[in-house]
Amino acid sequence: MAKRILMIDDEPNTIEVVGDRLKEMGYEFEGRSNPKEGQWATSKTRPDLIVLDINMPGWNDGIGFLDSIRHHPNLLGIPIVIYTSLNIRELRRGAEEAGASGYYQKLSEDKAFYDKIEKLLG
């Protein structure tokens, strides 16, 4: 069965572009552009991987958001890959310390980002 990826990013166009590519790569894909609606956490099928933007409205502290997802009872143990427009070293380190499986800046690290997903999902 195809592995399932959930993406949370407040920019719908980003979800569309990344989603098309991931589907082309053979994954099942679900995107959520409202980080606050919380539906992603209660959906019935557990994703195999989460792609998360760390810079979203309503969440001044991106690491806090990452933390809340990582410790959500429905999502425990699922690898989280950060995909964001911010290229800030402290944030990168913070994300890794908070348990993210990777941190990639949109555009400049696209190739590494898709490679990482393939590596994580086998």
Partner 1 sequence: MKILFLEDNPLDSRRISGLLAKESADVDVDAVETLADAVSRLRQVQYDAILTDLNVPDSEGLDTFLKFQESAPRMPIVVLTGQHQDESTAMDAVHRGAQDFLTKDDLSGKVLRRTLKYAIERKQMENLRQSFVSIVTHELNTPISVIHGAVDNLKEGFLGALNEAQQKYLDMIGSNAKRLHRLSNDIHDLTKLEGGRFHLNVGEIDLCLPLRNVCDSLEGLSRQRGVRIEPNLPGTVRISADEERIEQVFTNVIKNAVRFADARVDVNIEADETQVRVAVEDDGPGLDPVDLPMLFQPFYQGKQKKAADGGSGLGLAIVRGIVMAHGGTIEASNRPDRRGARFVVTLPKSKGG
| Contacts to partner 1 by CB under 8 A | 11, 13-14, 17-18, 20-21, 24, 55, 85-87, 89-90, 106-108, 110
**CB of residue 54 vs partner 1: minimum separation in angstroms?**
12
**CB of residue 106 vs partner 1: minimum separation in angstroms?**
4
Euclidean distance between CA atoms 77 and 61, whole angstroms? 22
**CB of residue 76 vs partner 1: minimum separation in angstroms?**
30
| 95 contacts 77 by C-beta, under 8 angstroms | no
* CB of 1 or CB of 107, closer to partner 1: 107
Torsions phi, psi for 80 (to 5 deg): -120, 125
| 108 contacts 77 by C-beta, under 8 angstroms | no
Euclidean distance between CA atoms 54 and 42, whole angstroms? 20
* CB of 54 or CB of 69, closer to partner 1: 54
